[in-house]
Every structure is written in C-alpha cells, then in structure tokens.
Structure 1
C-alpha cells in the first residue's frame, strides 16, 4: 500500500527511514484527501519543493487532468536530504553509540562480534531486541555483566551482590538478564527452553542456592539420624560433603520434578534401598557440584540414574548431570519406547542436548531431533525402582 502523508517532514523522514532500512530509492505520496485545508496542502508542497531544490528528492506529477498535481516524492540524494533536514545518519549514530558501548572495556571476542552486529542493526535505523541506539547506557551494563560472567566473577556470589559489584547497582541484572543471556548464548551452553533467570542459575549465578533434597539411609557428619525416619533431608548444596551413607545404596537416582521425587520416595522406595535426590529442575551450579561430591561417595558398581521429562530440556538436564558427576549415568523412565507408547507431539520444536554418542541419553536425544518425535512429562508415569537392566526403559 502506498505511503501517504499530509506532513512534509514526516514524508521526508520516512524516505530516510526506509533508505536506512535498505530501500534503494523509496517513494512516498501526498494524501490529498486528508489535508485539512488548501493552505495546509500549499505549505506541504512548498516544503517538498524546497527539498527538491536542495537536490534531495525528485518529484513525480500526475497525468492528463492532474498534471499540475504532485503524485509522488522519490528520494534522490540521501546525503542532501540528511543535510536539508539537519538529521544525523543512522549509521553514524550507531557508530557513535557502539563506541560508547564498548569503549574502555576489555571484551571477549564474541562480545565484540555481538557489538558489531548491534551496530549493523542500529545502522539500519532498527532496534536490537527492543533496544535503540539511545539505550546504549543500559546495554553497556549488560555487556559489562556478560564479561564479568566470562571472567568467572559471578561464582560464589549471590545475584544482587554480583550486580552491585559489577555495575554499581543491585537491581540492574534483573532488568537486563535476558540481554545478558542472549549475549552469552554463543559462548556458554544454556538450557534450550530456560527462562533467563534459570539459564543464569545453571551457570552458578543465583540469589542463593536452593536446598538439596536427599532421601535414603543417610546421616550427616556430626549428626546421627539413625533414630529418625524423615521422608527426606534438605541441606545446603555446599554441605554435601557432610553426607554419610549408613550402608551402600543400591542405586543413586536424581529426579527433575518435585512431585515425581516425592512419589518415588514414598511409593517406589519406602525402604530407602537407594539414594534419591531432587535436582530442582535445571540443576544450579551448586547442585551440580553437590552431585559430583555425593557420586564420589558410592562405588563404581553403584548405578546412577536420572529421571526427567522426555523432551529436549530433559536431555539437557540429563547431560548436565552426566558431565557434573563425571561418570556414566543411565536414563530412568526416559526412552524412545516410552515416548512412542505414551507421548504426544510437541506444540513447538526445540533442539535436544548436544551430547556425544557414548552419552546415556544419546539415543533419546537423536530421536527427539527427528520429525514426528513425541514428548512426555514425567508426572504422567508412575514411579518404579530403577535397575541397570532398564537402561532402554
């Protein structure tokens, strides 16, 4: 649909906007039906003719009985129109903004590339994920936070303290966490479907680590729990080295979902034959470290299992735990057969975890990457005891 205007400056600005967006020779039209009066139409034409006299635009006129009526305005010289309007070109604005964005910062090469991409978007007069070139100060904070994470300054620091130490304000990270994750997504591996807060938690940046829940025949160093029969214990992840097994567990099972964790402990293993741990969805870095500590307490012959949803996020959680414990683990109630039998088509397709062929979840990840694969939430399944023979189940 033709672009029509009653304000000459709006029309001229629109020509430059579209030129900056990539149009080689944009055209706009006067909207004769919308002019309030003949006086307004004459003022419009006068301004357009001034731009023509400056060499900025060329004019097209009507035919036959409308030969004296302006039909369209075409951009002739962007440079001349910038000068006529006193407007700074978007590429120059972008260049100046990006210079402020990265100036004085020792940035990772990937962040430098990201800044160049932002400059290219701003140079076309567009916004980058809702951020205009005028938002450079806010984005500078996001870059500083991203670089601090790459420098591992976020480890062992809570969310707000990290923000305050890095950009002098405790709430800034909350405002730009989505941008920070976007900037880092090409360098660090984040859960494919995680919200920004969950993604940052997975690399060790959280308000405070949630408790690690563990069920089994366990004691804590300095506390004899043999006479107590709690359903499970909750400890700070950093206290995982205090865990002691009263007898070797038959298995170790980590579970993503809280309801499935409770059902497994109460229904599948009321005798506490194994050690069952709740990882809290996407396992935080503190939780990953705790799992590494506890897995080292059991012998190599003790099988370690993980139970998640049968979906791309579930494969990411499985592979994350697999890497954290540093030894092979087995999927529990996570298989192609179960997906085909009980699953349903996903509402949207997302990529499963990138894992090596020898990963315990490799076959399921390959299946989920195929067209026609099905997914299943783990709550749909009743808990059962894991056994090594159930590797494919």
Structure 2
C-alpha cells in the first residue's frame, strides 16, 4: 500500500486525471506471494478495512472462497490511505516544512528552490520535506556565522553552543553545502571546503607568510618576516611594509614549507599559505596584508590540479585580492608536467568550468588528469615573470 500511496501522490502533483497504475500481485515473485500464509491473511484484513474506508480498491481471485488471493490494489484516496498507514503525505510534510522554514525564505534564496523541488516529489541530497528539522538547524548555523562576518568560529565550540552537541554541525554538511553552494545540481564539495568557506574551523589558524618585509599589526609590535616564515593572527594584520614584485598563494602545507625554504636569500616575493580553502578570517587578513600591492605586484596561485584546487583559486579571485587584480595560475597545467591521474570526462569538464570561473581561460582545454601539488617540483615565479614566460610557471 505504500507503493500505491506514492503513485497517488505523483498523480496529485502532476494533475493527471488518469487512474493510478494498479499494483499487480498475481506474479509468484511479487512481495505478496513471498509472504507466509498468516501474514497474507493479516494483510487481507488491512486491505478490506482500507477498501471500506475508501482508501483503496482491490481485486480478488475467482477461486478460494473467503481465502481468495489478492490480485491487485489501487489507491483511491491518498489522504485516507496515509491516515491508515500512520504516515504523512508529501503535501502534509511540505506544508510543515514551509511553515517551519518560512522565517529564512527571504534571506536564503536557495531555500525556495529546495521547497519547489520537494513539491515536485523530488529529493535534495536524498532528503525530502520530512527532513526540515535538519535544514532548520543548518539555517541557525548560517545565522550565527552571519552575525560575525569576516570571522572564523571553532566548529565544535559553536556546535555545542547552538545545539548542546559538539558534533551536530558536522552532521549538517549536505544541508550547509546546498544552502551556501552553487545550486541544487552542483557537484557536492568536500567537508572542509564547505566548512572553511563558511568560516568554520577546527581551531583558529595563523596567516603564514614567507618572504622579506614587515607585517604591520593592529595591536602590539609590528612583525618582521623571519626566515623561513612567520605566522600571525589574521584579524591582527593591518598591512605590509614591503613592495614585493610578486605574491604566491599556496594551497598545501608541505609545499608551502618547501617554498619558504626556497625563499632563502630572496627578497623579491611573498609566499602565503591559504590553509586549503581560505576562511573568512584568512581572507580579511590577506586583503589587508596586500591591499597596497595592486599596482606593484603580480599575484599567482599554486594548488592541486583538481576541482578543489581550482575552486580555491576562484574563491581567491572573487573575495581575497586587491581591487583590479587578476590572479594568475602557477604550475597548474597538468600537460606541462607529463604526469597525473586519469579522471572521468565529467570531472575534467568540472575542472575546466572551475578554472574558467577563476578567470583562467588559458586552461580551458585542461586534460582529464589531476595532480597533487606535492608531486610538482617547487619553482618560484620571479625569473619566469621577468623573462616573459607563461603565467603557469613553465
């Protein structure tokens, strides 16, 4: 009868006037004939009750007297059937979801898309309207983050404060991804890509910088960039007393350490660790660090050659760079390295689309290869830029 309830709901959503398809129970491999005799008899009583209530109509075999076998069932009234089964209809669940999520509709446009999808009997990340409580929790998280823009919050501390459960936010990853991402049909992002973009971190992270110069601080003494690098609280950064010819942001920690060591004896550039996907606090600190360099420095990014790496570049271009600056790729063309891991064409297409979103049209013909940053030999940008070589560093 659950199958018939679903068919009845689809009929109601589509507005079809045709009768729903019967559930044919004649085949010996149907669920009806896989039940034992006593179970079938109990089912018969339920079907007769449902017929009496007008929930379904049923057809019985010609032979067998009072124990005639059931041959088919078809829904007549979805609401009555749902009541008999002790279930909520999609309409009822959707109404509850709309009512409970209404306070957030104007502030979070993606929510309307979710409700429309549920109304069409489709699911969002395998969740239907009966999951509205988890979406409400995710919206409470987004509200708490919006109340402190440009800051990072420790995920388990915030989770404990909001829900008295330090791990609750981590259970809301699909909801947070959809509500803050590129659309219901977009490819799911990795856990920390979602959380760090929102400003949810394991612990506060420093802004780590290698190069030459002095980081000007909001409070306390200014910080000379020592060798091989220094780390400062992003919120305390006020600016930079130096004029590097280039700034290179690096996605992964191992590569940042190697690049910092390669900076020994160099004073022409600045290498900055993004910590993977940059968080709001990192973005705010980096903008203050580099805001006076828009006319004097070339900005590069070096990360993994994969969708995540290009997404980081796109975010840097969108929110982290000084006004009027275009971010350039550094060592992020797999064809230049002669190696990589083969991936599907759909993954390649996603990489190309994300690279173009970052403003890197020169990479629109990327091959179906990914390559981790740690597998690429460290090179620094200065000589390549001065000699007019391509901005991907080769």
Report the TM-score when normalising by structure 1.
0.74
Distance 1:333 1:356 in 2: 13
Summarize the Cα distance change of 1:70–1:148 in structure 2 as closer, same or farther, 3 Å threshold.
Answer: same
Q: Is the 8 A contact 1:159 1:208 kept in 2?
A: yes
Among candidates 331, 338, 342, match of residue 345 of structure 1: 342
Aligned residue for 1:182?
Answer: 178
Q: 1:271 and 2:265 equivalent? A: yes
Q: Distance in 2 between matches of 1:166 and 1:153?
A: 15
Q: Distance in 2 between matches of 1:270 and 1:239?
A: 26
Alpha-carbon distance in 2 for matches of 1:265, 1:141: 42
192, 195, 204: which one pairs with 2:199? 204
Alpha-carbon distance, 1:90 to partner = 0.7
Q: Which runs of 5+ in 2 are unaligned?
A: 12-18, 26-30
Is the alpha carbon distance of 1:295 and 1:354 closer, same or farther for their aligned partners in structure 2, counting shifts above 3 Å? farther
> In structure 1, the residue corresponding to 2:316 is in which secondary structure?
helix
1:202–1:282: 8 Å Cα contact kept in structure 2?
yes
Following TM superposition, by how much is the alpha carbon of 1:214 offset from its aligned partner in structure 2, in angstroms?
A: 1.0
Partners of 1:105 and 1:230 in 2: CA distance: 49
Deviation beyond 6 Å, 4+ runs, structure 1 = 164-170, 355-359
Change (3 A) 1:57 1:332: same
1:312-327 to structure 2, matched below 5 A, reads 312-323=307-318, 324-325=320-321, 326=323, 327=325
Task: Provide the C-alpha distance between the structure 2 equivalents of 1:359 and 1:103, rounded to a whole number of angstroms.
Answer: 35
* Deviation string, structure 1 residues 344-367 (Cα, Å, up to 9, x no partner): 422561623757979662221x12
Q: 1:322 is paired with a residue of what secondary structure?
A: helix
When the two structures are superposed, what TM-score results if normalisation uses the length of structure 2?
0.74
CA distance in 1, matches of 2:34, 2:353: 60
* Cross-structure match for 1:231: 228
- Equivalent residues of 1:318, 1:361 under 8 A apart: no
Q: 2:8 is matched with which residue?
A: 19
The equivalent of 2:36 in structure 1 is 35
Residues 310, 355 of structure 2: 8 Å contact kept: no
RMSD: 4.0
Aligned pairs (5 A) from 1:30-179: 31-32=32-33, 34-36=35-37, 42-55=41-54, 56-61=56-61, 69-79=68-78, 82=81, 85=84, 87=86, 90-105=89-104, 107-108=106-107, 110-117=109-116, 119-120=118-119, 124=121, 128-129=124-125, 131=127, 133-146=129-142, 153-156=148-151, 158-159=153-154, 172-179=168-175
Change (3 A) 1:74 1:328: same
Asked whether the 8 Å contact 1:98–1:115 carries over to 2, the reply is no
Measure the CA separation in 1 of the matches of 2:193 and 2:358: 24
Q: How far apart in 2 are the matches of 1:203 and 1:97?
A: 28
Alignment check: 8 A CA contact 1:319 1:353 kept: no
Q: Distance in 1 between matches of 2:357 and 2:96?
A: 47
Which stretches in structure 1 are left out of the alignment for 5+ residues?
1-11
1:323-338 equivalences in 2 (<5 Å): 323=318, 324-325=320-321, 326=323, 327-335=325-333, 337-338=335-336
Instruction: Tell which deviates more after alignment, 87-96 or 324-333.
Output: 87-96
Per the TM alignment, residue 95 of structure 1 is displaced from its structure 2 partner at its CA by 3.4
Give, in angstroms, the shift of residue 105 of structure 1: 4.6
Q: Distance in 2 between matches of 1:304 and 1:183?
A: 31
Change (3 A) 1:377 1:244: same
What SS is found at the alignment partner of 2:370? Answer: coil
Q: Distance in 2 between matches of 1:377 and 1:182?
A: 27
Pair member with larger Rg: 1
The 3 A distance-change label for structure 1 pair 86 and 346 is closer
